[in-house]
Each structure stands twice: as structure tokens, then as C-alpha cells.
Amino acid sequence: MKEIQQKIERLLLKTQKPARYIGGELGSVVKDKDKVDVRFAFCFPDVYDVGMSHLGMKILYGLKNSRENWWCERAFMPEKDFEQQMRENDIPLYALESLDPVRDFDFIGFTLQYELSYTNVLEMLDLAGLPVFSRDRKNLTPIVVGGGPCVCNPEPVADFFDLFIIGEGEEVNIELLELFERMKPQNPTKEQFLREAAKIEGIYVPAFYDISYNDDGTVREIAPNVPEAPARVKKRVIKDFDSVYYPESFVVPFTSIVHDRAVVEVLRGCIRGCRFCQAGFIYRPFREKNIDTIARQTRCLCEQTGYEQVSLSSLSTSDHPQIEKLLDTLADYTDSENINLSLPSLRIDNFSDELLEKIASVRKSGLTFAPEAGTQHLRDVINKNVTEDEIMNTCRMAFEAGYGTVKLYFMLGLPEERDEDVIGIAQLAQKIVDLYFEIPKEQRASTIQVSLSTATFVPKPFTPFEFEPQALPEEIDRRQKLIMDAIHSKKIRFSYHDQKISKLEAVLARGDRKICDVIYTAWKKGCTLDSWDEYFHPELWEEAFEECGVSREFYANRRREYDEIMPWSHLDYLVSREFLIRENKKAHAAETTRNCREGCSGCGIGKAYGGTYCAGKS
């Protein structure tokens, strides 16, 4: 340890943000290695600033370290400058708590939060001095584990991992490490351990499944090749969300990070059923925490960390059934302690004067909403269940309360999208600007700014739009120009995301195991940190696809038939295929589906859990 520490110290002045690489932060856990039986390196495949903002890491870090003889440590993707220094000075990827090389740990766990982090996984394994392909790692340890939302289709990275955790991780992580602790004294082979691990619900071992293909390149069959592997791997669900483990403290970084504040999870899942939204389906069923639990966790985290801002985390915070009572309860503490309460993920359709009043001290500078589509026709297609009247009423409330900035997020390339839907984005923005000038001068803000942002639609697994093609790049370019030409006010700003990134994301999201070679080839060409504009090299990815003989259009721009076997068909996220097909057909008919609180739509979660955990169970 001392040798690595001395090497690192000599390099810190040669890198930006050296605090990313030193450890020792308030709240970090250091244990006696001689008293530890299981060591887990939690690796976030992006830079420290991003990874330290991730709530899942905070939860699992605290959960594993609550066991006296387990030690969970953190490792992050170094940025280019420090990565180069590490290679030139023979410093392997190390964990921040002990500075030990992660290759010496029992487990190396990666959370896969977005597809563009895949090459970072390979880079981190290589920096650790390990083969990137699982078939080349013969010893029992380290066992390379993947989790997070992207493992709903892990096939594009299946060749690099020993196993994946499907679904929510709090319980299955404990069961996996307990299994290892029991088996470790027996000195098992890696295959013997993986066979036992495959028996745990929620564990997927890709090597235990054979994939065959049809002549047209589609999947013919996904078949287990060992008796321990189930035909379908069922995701894990935390049934008692109110009592599940939640950390009492976070590691507090020395340097600024993306979300530098305390975070309390208030909801898990979503009642809405927006047809493009993967999170809304893979995190079902909808569960909320009790107000007293949220208040207790808020107080505890702020007192332990010293943070003066706390954020309520969920997919849709205002869908908490007691949101106003919750805010009143929290205000008793946060106001008295001068703690800023942040409310992301607010919905247009359940906004109210009371809610606006409660958040006025939080976001007086502006409000952000996601109508996703510019016309009612397209909002019905995607099942957004938000009307133009609700959008305008919410903006009116904001303007009357003195807000002067509104940010609106939309998608381009949605199924059934017409030119009038695209132009409708600019027209809706103009209506909002006109509405501002209807408010009396003495009541409204001194100026108005409406910011429009569009992203290219990416079809994702386990959504009703998993069958849909992504629009071709030239078509997205044309639609972006339609919006620009339709904007006639200086009060409206328009920005859009790089559709080259979205096209790659679509391939990685819906790919099969053939994509593993593409990712490997792109990484060998130098592709890492692909989610960062300054490091993204689409030309290198294009070369990788060509050299591997893989068509991006086959994965991104092809409509998939309802009876096609998907690369993820052997994974069960408890939302039925029949429901997704039914919702897809309703989308093409522009028919909406009620939300879960209004009544059950028959997605399959109720059947899987006897209806006990559905918001629409009554």
C-alpha cells in the first residue's frame, strides 16, 4: 500500500481534480484487512464526479459495510490525464479506501447506468491488470459482477462479465456474498461457484446460456446449458420498501460532484406507463415510503454529513400520495436548520398552487418539465397523459408566482410522429411566451425565457416501444430544422442532443452478443468516456462496426415483429410481453391507458405478486 500511495502522491500535481484519486473522505469506511472475509470493489464506470452522485452506490456501499467481516470499497474511471499517468507509472486500478489493486478483491462490481459506459468497463478491467473477457479469467476471484438498469439487456457486454444481478440489488447482493463466504473455504472452481450462484433468484450467468441465430440475423433460441440455470431469470423486487436498508450517512467528497447533496429516496417505480420510458417499466411495482421514514432519513443524513441541501429522489416525486403533507413535515426540520429542499421529477398534471408555494424557496429561478411531445396527438401516442390545458395552467401558476424561466424537454423521432407534431413543439413554446404577457406586469417576472431541448428517441427493452425503429439520422436532422424554422421569438431558445450518440445508444440498448466484439474493437481503438462530448469519437465506432461486419441499422433502425425472440427474452422483468404488444398497438391507434392509481392495466406485476404491491390493486 505504501508504495502505491507514494506513487500516487507524486502524480497528483500532474492531474486535474486530484481529490478524485486520494480517498480518505468523511464517511469512507476503512477496515482491518486481516479481519475481513469478503472484499467487494464497487466500480462506477465513469469519473468520480458522476459516480459519487449515484444513489445506488451509496446504498450498496453502506449495506455491505454494515457486515463487520465484509469490506466494500470504491473505484472510479480515471479521466484521461490520470489514466495516462497510471499506465506510465505502473499503477493498477485501485480502491480508494485501502489503495489496494482491485484485482486482489473477491468481487469487482460494476453498475451499468447508461450504455455509453460500456467501454469504460473494459478500460477499468484492463487498468486493473485483468483480461477483459470472462473466459480468460480462470481463477475463482475476482468475480466480475454487473448490475443496474442496463442489465435488463446485458447481452452486448455478456462476454465480459461472470454474472449479472437482475432487478433490485439490496437483498440479492447479500445472498450472493453470503454464498461466497460459505463456499470460499472449500476452494471451489469459478464454475462451481457460478453454478450455485445461478440458483439465486435474480442471478444471471451468461456463460450458462447458448444463443443461436436465424439466417436473417435475429435470435433463434436462448437455451440454458447447465441444469442450475433457469429458462428465464426473474428480476428481484424489494417487497417491503419502507423497511429496506437505507444508509444513515454518505461519503462526503473533498471536491465538488454533479449532485453534491444528501438524497432520500421517497418512491420506487412509477404509476404512469409512458410508453418510451424504460425506468417506468423495469422499476415496477410502484412503492412509496412512509412520511415518518422519509423525515427520519432526511434528518439523519443531514446531521451525519453536514449537507445543507437534500433532494427527494424518485421517478416522479409529486406522485407520492401524501406529497403536500410530506413537504409540510420536512419543512419543520429543513426550515429550522436552513436546509434547502430540492424536488426533482415534478409532473405537469398534478402541479398545484399549494405545491408551487412550497417549492418557491427552492427554485425561484425557473421550473423544468417534460411534455415530451408538441401535440396532443403525439402525447396520446406515447401515453404521456398530459393535456395542453394542464401545461398552460401550470405555466400560468408559475408566471403568477414570479417565475420567469421555463425549460421544456421533448423527444424527436417518436413512433407516429408527423411534421405537424414536430412544428407543434415550437408552437407550444410560443403559446407559453404569449401567456407570460397576459400576466399583469406587477405580478410577473421582469423577463421570460422558454428553453426547448430535444433528444432523439431511443427504443429500449421492456417498453411498448421496444419493437419500434429509431428514425434515421437524416430524418432527425430534417425535423430539428423544422423546429428551428418555426421559432420566431427571441424569447425561445432551442438546443438538441447529438443524434450520433443516440444512434449508438440504440444499438447498445437492443443489441445481442455480436455487439461484444464491436465494443471490444472500439475500445482497442481508443474509445472510452463515450458519454463525454470531448472524448466521443463516432468515426472510431463506425470503423469498429465495419471491421466486425455488424450493421448498426439492423439493431437501431429495424422494426421488430411481435413474435421475434429478443436478445433479452430469457430475462423476466415481470411486465408481460402481451401487455407490451397491447400497449404498442394502442400507441399506433393514439389510444391512452390510465395510470396505475386509477386502475390496473394488467401489465403483469399484479399477477407476479398477487396484486399486493400494485398501486391500482383496489
Residues 233-249, mean pLDDT to the nearest whole number: 94
Q: At what angle do helices 419-436 and 473-486 cross, to 10 degrees?
A: 30
Q: Is 159 helix (H, G, I), strand (E, B) or coil?
A: helix
Please write down the HEC assignment for all residues of 184-211. Answer: HHHCCCHHHHHHHHCCCCCEECHHHEEE
**pTM, rounded to two decimals:** 0.95
Provide the pLDDT for residue 254.
94
Q: Are strands 163-165 and 143-147 parallel, antiparallel or unpaired?
A: parallel
Domain boundaries, the chain: 2-234, 362-497, 572-608
Q: How far apart are CA 12 and CA 23, in angstroms?
A: 12
Question: What order of strands is seen across the sheet that includes strand 405-412?
Answer: 367-372, 405-412, 449-456, 492-496
Mention every residue, 6+ apart, whose C-beta is less than 8 A from residue 449.
Answer: 366, 404, 405, 406, 491, 493
* Domain 2-234 part of CATH 3.40.50.280: yes
Provide the pLDDT for residue 344.
74
Mark residue 158 as left, alpha or beta (left: phi above 0; alpha: psi -120 to 50; beta: remaining): alpha
Q: How confident is the model at residue 317 (pLDDT cuts 50, 70, 90)?
A: confident
By the 8 A CB rule, do 40 and 64 touch? yes
Provide the pLDDT for residue 618.
38
Q: Are strands 571-572 and 233-234 parallel, antiparallel or unpaired?
A: parallel
The angle at the Cα of 465, spanning 116 to 460, to the nearest 5 degrees, equals 15
Residues 254-283, mean pLDDT to the nearest whole number: 94
CA 60 to chain centre: 15
By the 8 A CB rule, do 419 and 482 touch? yes
Q: Is 75 helix (H, G, I), strand (E, B) or coil?
A: strand
Summarised one tens digit per residue, pLDDT across range 194-204 is 999 999 999 99
Q: How confident is the model at residue 610 (pLDDT cuts 50, 70, 90)?
A: low
Tally of residues, the chain: 618
Summarised one tens digit per residue, pLDDT across range 330-386 is 988 998 999 988 877 677 776 776 776 666 554 455 678 899 999 999 999 999 999
SS3 percent helix, strand, coil of the chain, rounded to 5, is: 40, 15, 45
Written as one letter, the residue type at 461 is: P
**577, three cell numbers:** 410481453
**Phi, psi (rounded to 5 degrees) for 449:** -140, 120
Q: How far apart are CA 148 and CA 390, in angstroms?
A: 34
What are the beta bridge partners of residue 265?
Answer: 313
Provide the pLDDT for residue 587.
98
**442, three cell numbers:** 406587477
Residues 211-215, mean pLDDT to the nearest whole number: 98
**17, three cell numbers:** 481534480
Q: Are strands 449-456 and 492-496 parallel, antiparallel or unpaired?
A: parallel
**93, three cell numbers:** 486500478
Q: Is 94 helix (H, G, I), strand (E, B) or coil?
A: strand
Q: How far apart are CA 200 and CA 364, in angstroms?
A: 49
Summarised one tens digit per residue, pLDDT across range 83-126 is 999 999 999 999 999 999 999 999 999 999 999 999 999 999 99
Written as one letter, the residue type at 527 is: C
Q: How far apart are CA 556 and CA 542, in angstroms?
A: 14
Q: Are strands 219-224 and 209-213 parallel, antiparallel or unpaired?
A: antiparallel
Q: How far apart are CA 529 and CA 47, in angstroms?
A: 8
What is the CATH architecture assignment of 362-497? 2-Layer Sandwich (3.30)
**99, three cell numbers:** 489503495
The angle at the Cα of 181, spanning 177 to 182, to the nearest 5 degrees, equals 120
Written as one letter, the residue type at 274 is: C
Query: What count of Cα atoms within 13 Å lies in the side-chain half-sphere of residue 281?
Result: 28
The dihedral through the CA atoms of 264, 269, 271, 273 has a sign that is: positive
**424, three cell numbers:** 407543434
